[in-house]
Structures are given as structure tokens and as C-alpha cells.
Amino acid sequence: MSFVIIFGTSNWVPTDYLIYLVLIMGGLLTAGVAMSVFSFYEDHYWGDENFRNQLRFHPLNRNLSNKIQGKL
């Protein structure tokens, strides 16, 4: 019997437990990445008005893209 396990003369079929474990870990990884992206977007875009203003295209301020602009 150990000969079959070592050399793999038959197909390996994963157990249901392993399949569920892989699916759950993949779901948690996907959710973690999504939450990371959402929190970055919320903190650094919606929470920072100066950063949003720097991302906007202002024809009058083309050369001032790296400077923090005051309110008009």
C-alpha cells in the first residue's frame, strides 16, 4: 500500500474538507484585498480634499501639480 502512496499509481482526489478549506481561504484573501483597496480609497481620496484637488485637471495650474493648493 505504501508503494501506491509514494509513487502515485492512481489519481489523487482531494477530500471535501480540503476543497472547502481552499475556497474559504480564497474568499478571505479576496475580501481582505477588497477591504484594503476600499479603505485606501476612502482614507486617501474621500478624506483628503487637497489630494482630490491635486488629481483634478486645472488648466491654470498645470505647473503646480506637486504643490498643495489653497481654497479659492
Number of domains the chain is built from:
1
pLDDT tens column, 14-64: 899 999 999 999 999 999 999 999 988 887 777 777 777 777 766 565 555
Q: 30: closest CA among 19, 18, 38, 42?
A: 38
Is residue 3 a part of any domain in this protein? no
pLDDT for 1 beyond 70? no
Is residue 4 a part of any domain in this protein? no
What is the model's pLDDT at position 40?
A: 84
Is residue 22 a part of any domain in this protein? yes
pTM of the full predicted structure?
0.51
Is residue 29 a part of any domain in this protein? yes
Sequence-distant contacts of 42-49: CB under 8 A, at least 24 apart: none
Q: Could you tell me the residue range of the domain that residue 59 belongs to? A: 14-64
Is residue 7 a part of any domain in this protein? no
Is residue 8 a part of any domain in this protein? no
Which residues are within 8 A (CB) of 3 and not within 5 positions of it... i.e. 6 or more apart?
9
Sort 6 into a burial class: Cβ within 10 Å, 0-12 / 13-18 / 19+.
exposed
